Amino acid sequence: MSAAPMDGSPVRRRSNYRLRRNLTEAAALAFGLVLVVWTLTPIYNMVAVSLEPHGDVFTNDIWPAKPSLESFWIVVTEGHWYLEYFWGQFGNSLFVGGATVFLTLAIGSLASFAIGRMRIRYGWLVSNAALLTYVIPASFLAIPFYRIMNIYGLSNNLWAVIAAEVTFATPYAIFIFQQYGVSIPIELDEAARIDGASPTQVYFRIYLPLMAPALVAVGTYALLLAWNEYLYQFLLLSSKRSMTVPVALAQFLNSDEAPWNYMMATAIVYALPPVAIYYAFRRRMTAGLTTGGVKG
């Protein structure tokens, strides 16, 4: 498949070559169509179910007979038992996301500045610890983490969730910052120090501005991680008022007759901000991932 048969093999007759080219293009288009169907089916289902009017989820329609935006109205006006505190929960998710971004960027950039730029002794130990945290699956730490949060007195507290998200976002931040920091000449720091700049001044005036692209990439990553993560938020938050949106969304499944149209409408409202952010920063995200993430 990698071998796009457009270039290369010398074909004697021009028309013959053109025919083959058109055929492969047609095959590629057909394959592309299959790929679109594969990709969009679950998302189509989400939209179709959310447009079902009240109580009409149990049908055999492929597209709702009378599509209506009623479910979205219910979500926005908190008009259902499960959606009582929707906007408060939305706010909680925003708060967790914002705090995670700020703390991840601050802690991650300070650490990688000390390791990569100031070359602190045993810095390699710290970056290895970070790398190790990055490769250990977060869900495997959930049980002891939950108990420890109780010991710290942070049960049912948003700060417990923030601590969890920061814990799992910072290793990636340190990894990316160190890889990206290599491209910034160390002579800049040295020149500033000769001019009498203190380490904090070098950090704020030289390091941070030059790291801006990496900061944006990691910030987006941390925000999406905190917004999308479910397991820790589910374990650490128990009351309706302190819940974040994904936890509230999964609450729907607790009842036997889940109102699927409201649930899918909530799901769409919840998914829109991260999708918008993802597409806005798409280039930065992939750039960050390939320069640092898993480049081989």
Using CA atoms, how far apart are residues 277 and 280, in angstroms rounded to an integer? 5
Nearest approach, Cβ of 171 to other proteins (angstroms)?
A: 9
Instruction: Based on the shown chain and the rule CB under 8 A, indicate whether residue 153 belongs to the binding site for other proteins.
Output: no
Asked if 227 is part of the footprint of other proteins (rule: CB under 8 A), the reply reads yes
Whether 75 and 265 have beta carbons less than 8 Å apart is answered as: yes
Residue 92 and residue 160 in contact, taking contact as beta carbons nearer than 8 Å: no
DSSP 175: H
Shortest distance in whole angstroms from residue 152 CB to other proteins: 8
Kindly identify the residues of this chain, within the stretch 252-281, that bind other proteins according to CB under 8 A: 253, 260, 263-264, 267-268, 270-271, 274-275, 278-279
Q: Which of residues 183-212 bind other proteins (CB under 8 A)?
A: 186, 190, 193-194, 196, 198-200, 203
Which tokens belong to 70?
A: 């009623």
Q: Which of residues 50-79 bind other proteins (CB under 8 A)?
A: 57-62
| 6-45 positions binding other proteins, by CB under 8 A | 6-9, 28-29, 31-32, 35-36, 38-45
**Position of tokens 């203190």?**
198
C-beta separation of 116 from 178 below 8 A = yes
**Look-up: residue for tokens 């049912």?**
156
Burial 239-257 (b: 16+ CB within 10 A, else e): eeebbbbbbbbebbeeeee
Q: Which is nearer to other proteins, 32 or 91 (CB)?
A: 32
CB of residue 269 to other proteins, shortest distance in Å:
10
Part of the chain binding other proteins (CB under 8 A), chosen from 65-73, 83-91, 135-143, 209-217: 135-143
